[in-house]
Amino acid sequence: MHPAKSVILFTTASGAGYGMMIWLAVLAALGMLPQETVFGILVFGLAFALIVGGLLSSTFHLGRPERAWRAMSQWRSSWLSREGLAAIIGFVPLGLFALVAIFGIADMALGAVVGVIGAAMALLTLYFTSMIYASLRTIPAWHNGWTVAGYLVLGPMNGAVFLAFLFALFGFADAAAAMRSIALAMLLAGLAVKLLYWQNIRTSAPVSTAGTATGLGHLGKVEMTGSPHDSDNYLLREMGFRIARKHAEKLRRIATLLGFVVPIICVALGLVFAEGPLNLLVTLLSVIACQIGITAERWLFFAEAKHAVTLYYGEQAV
């Protein structure tokens, strides 16, 4: 598939924003969320900016972005519609949670309750997003449980890395220590999920071939002798995007190293050097490396996904 920049921004930014909200709610429920106005405005503002910015960017990939609101009317059958509705509904408890945490408009016990409800809606939104891709039988690289696991792990992972840095920056030692431990666990889980996902798409048997697609497989091996079109078209641009094996391997190494290995090392060092400039430096490095690595991973997630329609354009198996 063609890796659209708008969709890559959506999945990385919104995932990180929702991840931040999830862990803020968890800390509030545990009584560990600092209630400080400037910090609250910054951290909740960043989380909402990432969520809203990502959601808005996703509409740019639509043919008629101004009609995006109509997609939500198909919630009975469309995962995209369910995602949109869950995102909008989730803003209510998340907004109330932010107001309580920042301005203290109500008891924090109530804030923790609405925060947990908002966190549940955030996870539900991430699940609905994953199912937009995992439900597509025509793209075997996405039609598996590891796609869902990736969305449910990578977003909260990214959010935890962000929060570990922000808590350390504002000097909230206890919250920073808790988030570093959470971030380390999520990074290890994220690395495991991605390695298993890549192994799955490498080793899974082809779901379809040119023979099964054309119905001529019983006659022997089927090969295309010519393209159905003599010029480029939408299907080839969007569904038939190809990435060379050497480039895929290079991007996979970049994603693994920067998205997971470097942040794991940096967060682990942050646990050793709990305070001081060195702690801030390695925690900031973990944020920067993670964003570069996850962007490469998201690009590869789309680039490696082959649509079954490419069988009619010369692909031998999907």
154-168, 245-259, 287-301: range with lowest mean pLDDT: 245-259
Q: Within 13 A of 91's CA, how many CA atoms are on the CB side?
A: 12
Residues 6+ apart with CB under 8 A from 46: 17, 20, 162, 166
Q: What is the mean pLDDT of residues 53-58?
A: 84
Residue of 117, 103, 111, 158 whose CA lies nearest to 286: 158
Report the candidate in 53, 46, 1 with the shortest Cα–Cα distance to residue 21.
46
* CB proximity list for 256: less than 8 A, separation 6 or greater: 191, 194, 195, 293
Looking at the DSSP bridge assignments, the partners of residue 317 are: 209
Q: What are phi and psi of 209, to 5 degrees?
A: -130, 175
Say yes or no to pLDDT of 235 above 80.
no
Using one digit for the tens of pLDDT, what is the confidence trace for 107-156?
999 999 999 999 999 999 999 999 999 999 888 899 999 999 999 999 99
| Residue 18 token pair | 């929702």
CB atoms within 10 A of CB 204: 12
The domains of the chain are located at 1-135, 174-318
pLDDT in tens, 261-282: 999 999 999 988 877 788 899 9
- 198-210 pLDDT, tens digit each: 999 888 877 776 6
Quick check: 309 pLDDT over 80? Answer: no
* d(C-alpha 71, C-alpha 91), whole Å: 18
Residue 225: other Cβ atoms inside 10 A: 5
> Both tokens of residue 304?
């490696």
